[in-house]
Amino acid sequence: MSKKVLLTGDRPTGPLHIGHYFGSVQNRVAMQDDYDSYYMVADVQALTDNFNNPEKVRENVIEVAMDNMAAGLDPKKATLFIQSQIPQIAELTVFYSNLVTVNTLKRNPTVKAEIAEKSELFGREGESVTYGFLGYPVSQAADITFVRSEVVPVGEDQLPMIEQTREIVEKFHRIYNCSIFPLPQAKLSDSPRIMGLDGNAKMSKSLNNAIYLKDSPEETAEKIKTATTDSETTISYDPQRRPGISNLVLIYSLIHNKKPGDIVKDLQGVTYSAFKSRLASDLNAHLTPLRNKRHELESKPHYIKEILEMGREKALKKAEETMSLVRAAMKINY
Ligand code: TRP
């Protein structure tokens, strides 16, 4: 029996941090044996809100590819490619854009939150939201469907994108009287979301509160040492009331593959500072193989480019197969 198709990806806007790693990268690595896996570096999507900063996007294409490979994504098993190298995705985006109303896009909860964030930074909504940005869920539907993907491992914030994709697929089939695509399903990782080390709900580069996979052991230890906790003296796991310390317990539990509520029992009578050094040394030990692999990859930029080139060829083949079905269904196969 042939394997089900899986596709996922990252926007290349910065190196990956441990939130990405425990939340989604580990998940996709675990799934690569059982699925025909495609991993996409979403440079076109990154450009929707970084169009004026193409250098940043370009630099991070290789960074995120290396982070994923260092974490165990294996080019012998998964197809790694760059979004902009598959023009059929752009073509499919144009066709799908007829099937989605502007109001639906404005109501998309993830897009809505991002627009609110931007309006805060840049002023009035209408002046900061481009047509391309508003439409990125449509383009993401094209990402997912051009390989006719069935499974999409993502974080919770991406659920509206998968839902939008399902709506587009159903509408496409109904209007063009065909059945080309499987209905894609999200696959969420079951580990809770890691917060920023400053207590912010999100670990993110722009907030400067993240531990990167590529950080040195010293940087990692320093970041943990200065992470926000509270003025109590006992360690517990109570994310609502004690978010800072609970977040560190969560990271500790993920390293040791246990539930945070269970591992906290091992930390009774341990001081915050002793716990922080234990956490730093365990996290560094956990990440050592990955960091070694990353250093090795950094010394072979040509190898990464070759992998992405092979991935491009394979993804292009699949894209042409899909597009010939799509063009026939839409009666534009002249
Ligand atoms: N939107 C995703 C993110 O911000 C990245 C992405 C682009 C993606 N295309 C995708 C994820 C297709 C899954 C499937 O992280």
pTM of the model: 0.94
pLDDT at 121: 67
Whole-number Å distance, alpha carbon 143 to ligand 1 midpoint, is 8
Tens of pLDDT along the chain (334 residues)? 799 999 999 999 999 999 999 989 999 999 999 999 999 999 999 999 999 999 999 999 999 999 999 999 999 999 999 999 999 999 999 999 999 999 999 999 999 998 888 777 666 656 678 999 999 999 999 999 999 999 999 988 899 999 999 999 999 999 999 999 999 999 998 888 899 999 888 898 778 899 999 999 999 999 999 999 999 989 999 999 999 999 999 999 999 999 999 999 999 999 999 999 999 999 999 999 999 999 999 999 999 999 999 999 999 999 999 999 999 999 999 9
Q: Which of 161, 163, 185, 189 to mutate to test the pocket of ligand 1 (most atoms within 8 A of CB)?
A: 161
pLDDT at 124: 63
Atom of ligand 1 nearest to the CA of 45: 7
**Alpha-carbon gap, residue 228 to 245, rounded angstroms:** 8
The residue count of the chain comes to 334
pLDDT at 125: 59
What residue's CA is closest to ligand 1, atom 6? 9
Measuring from each residue's beta carbon to the nearest atom of ligand 1, which residues come in under 6 Å? 7-11, 40, 42, 45, 140, 143-144, 152, 154, 158
pLDDT at 137: 98
Atom of ligand 1 nearest to the CA of 140: 9
Q: Which of 28, 43, 45 to mutate to test the pocket of ligand 1 (most atoms within 8 A of CB)?
A: 45
What residue's CA is closest to ligand 1, atom 14? 8
**Alpha-carbon gap, residue 234 to 245, rounded angstroms:** 10
Atom of ligand 1 nearest to the CA of 11: 5
Q: Which of 68, 92, 148, 158 to mutate to test the pocket of ligand 1 (most atoms within 8 A of CB)?
A: 158
In DSSP terms, 305 is beta-bridged to none
Domains, in order of start, for the chain? 5-193+300-329 (3.40.50.620), 217-296 (1.10.240.10)
